[in-house]
Amino acid sequence: MEGADGQVSFEIDDLPVRDELRGKSPYGAPQLDVPVRLNTNENPYPLPEPLVERIAERVREAARNLNRYPDRDAVELRTGLARYLTKSSGYPVGVDNVWAANGSNEVIQQLLQTFGGPGRTAIGFEPSYSMHTLIARSTGTGWISGPRAEDFTIDLPAAEKAIAEHRPDVVFVTTPNNPTGNTVPAETVLALYEAAQAAKPSMVIVDEAYVEFSHGASLLPLLDGRPHLVVSRTMSKAFGAAGLRLGYLAAHPAVVDAVQLVRLPYHLSAVTQATALAALEHTDTLLGYVEQLKSERDRLVAELRATGYEVTESDANFIQFGRFEDSHTAWQRILDRGVLVRDNGVPGWLRVTAGTPAENDAFLDAVRELKKEQEQST
């Protein structure tokens, strides 16, 4: 077929792509150029200048050796991450318990390449982080959409039943959950772990991308005596370094050995390792913003409720709010006022990331106007 420009029109589906990729579109929150962007749960504060300097120093050092491949096992970085986990949780984590990759998305991909794959399945309790589903698809792992209660908590009996019935190879638990914001209690995670062991046994991946924002403690201590449990973490959210692309996991050393069977050699560049090490040196400063963001989150929750919106209990740096008859139209109305929030495809609900106080004020003005508009039209 020839298009208007004389080019033969030829699209993805004209290529011999794998069946499961046919007719699909790539993941992506819109990256729109608007004044207030509160749609991807990033930390709104740029890195402090002393850290920028330290990164430049470390990267300069690394640059002198870029003729060589990086440390394939990223030992210095994993040691630093283990130290951070130990210090923040009180649970002793060693370098042998930690693995790092380019964002926790790559960590999850490596886990599914290792424990999922063709002929195997993974379950998540939806709505939850859509990348779990997409990475399952791209690794050929079958996806099972597990249930959640009306209030977006995990309905334990229903979840246990789904695990017993489907006997998945991998169970995802996101806590605090994205996009709903609520924490999963440790007892629930333990019960799901037991159910998964009785059914298969399978691997349970606890995605703690937002744990630094939560009231509760990390589930790291649950790793003790549970070699089928994995806790995944990221520097993209609380550490304020989404652009760095650094995710990591903590688990039994056997899990760390297992993912090395699928990781590409030298997957973590010397520049990434140097930058992440510099960021770890400034952990206290970076996490200093967490308290501010938590109080802004709590302010947003209070103001949204006062304006007449419903809000899901949030333990993260974002809030799910609603309800809307048509969430996509509401999303557009808020965008028309210069504020980008996220439509995660949960009917009736949208998600907003806690930004700077000024950004949050702009968001609150927009949703107050939207409320008035809706009240006038009914």
Ligand X SMILES: *Cc1c(COP(=O)(O)O)cnc(C)c1O
Nearer to ligand X among residue 232 and residue 370 (C-beta): 232
d(CA 231, CA 250): 5
Stretch that binds ligand X, among 14-22, 67-75, 229-237, 280-288 (CB under 6 A): 229-237
Cite the DSSP H helix spans in 38-93: 49-63, 75-89
- When asked if residue 109 is in the footprint of ligand X (CB under 6 A), the reply is no
Name residue 100's beta-bridge partners: 248
- Which residue among 44, 70, 80, 103 contacts ligand X (CB under 6 A)? 103
Using CB under 6 A as the binding rule, whether residue 41 contacts ligand X is answered as yes
Chain residue whose CB lies nearest ligand X: 103
> What tokens does 187 get?
């007892």
Smallest gap from residue 307 Cβ to ligand X (A): 26
- Residue 234 interacts with ligand X (CB under 6 A): yes or no: yes
Task: Taking each helix axis as running N to C, give the angle between helix 283-306 and helix 270-281, from 0 to 180 degrees, rounded to the nearest 10.
Answer: 80
Count the residues of the shown chain that bind ligand X, applying the rule CB under 6 A. Answer: 14
Residue 247 touches ligand X, criterion: CB under 6 A? yes
Nearer to ligand X, 100 or 196 (CB): 100
- Rounded to whole angstroms, how far apart are CA atoms 348 and 116? 33
The reply to whether 105 sits near ligand X by the rule CB under 6 A is yes
Instruction: Give the interface segment with ligand X, choosing from 16-24, 157-165, 235-243, 277-285 (CB under 6 A).
Output: 235-243
Q: Are 135 and 21 in contact (CB under 8 A)?
A: no
Residues 235, 276: Cα–Cα separation, whole Å: 8
Is residue 104 part of the contact set for ligand X (CB under 6 A)?
Answer: yes
The closest of 94, 190, 108 to 141, measured between CA atoms, is: 108
Strand order in the sheet with 203-207: 98-101, 247-251, 229-234, 203-207, 170-174, 121-125, 142-146
Q: Closer to ligand X at the Cβ: 207 or 296?
A: 207
Token digits of residue 155: 């309905």
Q: Looking at 27-35, 97-105, 133-141, 352-360, which segment touches ligand X (CB under 6 A)? A: 97-105
**Least spacing, CB of residue 320 vs ligand X, in Å:** 13
User: Does residue number 129 form part of the binding site for ligand X (CB under 6 A)?
Assistant: yes
Question: Is the Cβ of residue 232 or residue 360 nearer to ligand X in the bound state?
Answer: 232
Q: Does 207 bind ligand X (CB under 6 A)?
A: yes
**290 close to 213: Cβ distance less than 8 angstroms:** yes
Q: Which of 43, 236, 317, 327 binds ligand X (CB under 6 A)?
A: 236
Q: Which two tokens stand for residue 318?
A: 């974002």
Report if residue 174 touches ligand X, rule: CB under 6 A: yes
State CA 353 to chain mean position distance.
13
The candidate with the shortest Cα–Cα distance to 321, out of 329, 330, 311, 331, is 311
Query: Which residue, 172 or 363, has its beta carbon nearer to ligand X?
Result: 172
DSSP 214: S
Q: Does 209 bind ligand X (CB under 6 A)?
A: yes
Q: What are phi and psi of 242, to 5 degrees?
A: -60, -35
Residue numbers at the binding site for ligand X (CB under 6 A): 41, 103-105, 129, 174, 178, 207, 209, 234, 236-237, 242, 247
